[in-house]
C-alpha cells in the first residue's frame, strides 16, 4: 500500500498540463481502439508494453485470459465486457493476449491442491481444452515448457470461444471486426503476434510492426 499511495502523490505532482487536458477530454467519454483481453497477472501491463495512453484500450482482465464459450444462458462478466465493447464502444479490434509463466496454465498442468478455491477450479474449466490439445500433440513452439505451450494454444482457443458468440460472428463476416492473438514473454519483455499462415507467434519488432500496420 505504501508504494501505491506514494505513487498517487507522485502522479499528481508530475501531471503535466497536456495530461490534465487529456483527462479532461476523457471525462466526456471514451473511444478506445481495441478490446484488450489479458490475464490478471500483476506482471502483465498492456498499457506499458504497448505504450498506450489512457483511453486507448478497453481492458478485460481475468485469471488466464479466459472467455467462456457461447451458450444460451451465458451470464458472466467476460461476456458483459465484450458486449459493451462491441455495442457501446464499437471497437474494430479485439486482442487476446496470453503470457509466459502464467499461473493459470500451471494450475491446469498441476491441478489445485486441497479443497480450496472452488471458484477458481470452476473458472479454469474454460482452459481445459487447451491443456488437452497440447497433451494430445498440438503445439506451436515445442521448445517451450509445457505450461508455456498451453499458454500459446490457449490464446487460440479463447479466440475460438469469442467467435462462438453470434454477434461477434456477424461482425467478422461483415469484415467489421478483427481478432488478434498476442503472447507476452515476461522474461524478455517481448510481445509476439500469431500469424496463422505460419502457425507461429512472431516477434513484433520494428519490421513486423510495419507489416502489421500496412495490413490495417
> CA triplet 59, 63, 67: central angle to 5 degrees?
70
Binding region for Zn(2+): 39, 41, 99, 102
* Angle of helix 146-163 versus helix 128-135 axis, rounded to 10: 130
Q: In what order do the strands lie in the sheet with 190-195?
A: 57-62, 34-39, 93-99, 178-185, 190-195, 200-203
Rounded CA separation 125/148 (Å): 18
Closest by alpha carbon to 41, among 96, 79, 2, 98?
A: 98
Which cell numbers hold the place of 23?
483527462
Binding residues: 39, 41, 99, 102
Neighbours of 147 (CB within 10 A): 21
Concatenated DSSP letters for 101-124? T-HHHHHHHH---TT--HHHHHHG
Amino acid at each position: 500500500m505504501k508504494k501505491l499511495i506514494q505513487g498517487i502523490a507522485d502522479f499528481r505532482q508530475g501531471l503535466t498540463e497536456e495530461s490534465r487536458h487529456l483527462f479532461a477530454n476523457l471525462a466526456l467519454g471514451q473511444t478506445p481502439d481495441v478490446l484488450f483481453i489479458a490475464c490478471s497477472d500483476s506482471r502483465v501491463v498492456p498499457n506499458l508494453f504497448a505504450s498506450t495512453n489512457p483511453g486507448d484500450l478497453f481492458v478485460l482482465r481475468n485469471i488466464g485470459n479466459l472467455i467462456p464459450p457461447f451458450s444460451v444462458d451465458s451470464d458472466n462478466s467476460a461476456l458483459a465486457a465484450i458486449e459493451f465493447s462491441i455495442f457501446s464502444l464499437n471497437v474494430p479490434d479485439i486482442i487476446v493476449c496470453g503470457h509466459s509463466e502464467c499461473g493459470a496454465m500451471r494450475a491446469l498442468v498441476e491441478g489445485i491442491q486441497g479443497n480450496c478455491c472452488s471458484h477458481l477450479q470452476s473458472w479454469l474449466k474454460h482452459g481445459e481444452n487447451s491443456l488437452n490439445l497440447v497433451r494430445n500433440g498440438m503445439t506451436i513452439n515445442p521448445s517451450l515448457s509445457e505450461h508455456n505451450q498451453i499458454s500459446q494454444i490457449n490464446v487460440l482457443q479463447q479466440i475460438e470461444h469469442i467467435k462462438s458468440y453470434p454477434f461477434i460472428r456477424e461482425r467478422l463476416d461483415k469484415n467489421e471486426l478483427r481478432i488478434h492473438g498476442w503472447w507476452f514473454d515476461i522474461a524478455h519483455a517481448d510481445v509476439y503476434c500469431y500469424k496463422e499462415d505460419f502457425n507461429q507467434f512472431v516477434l513484433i519488432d520494428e519490421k513486423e510492426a510495419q507489416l502489421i500496420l500496412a495490413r490495417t
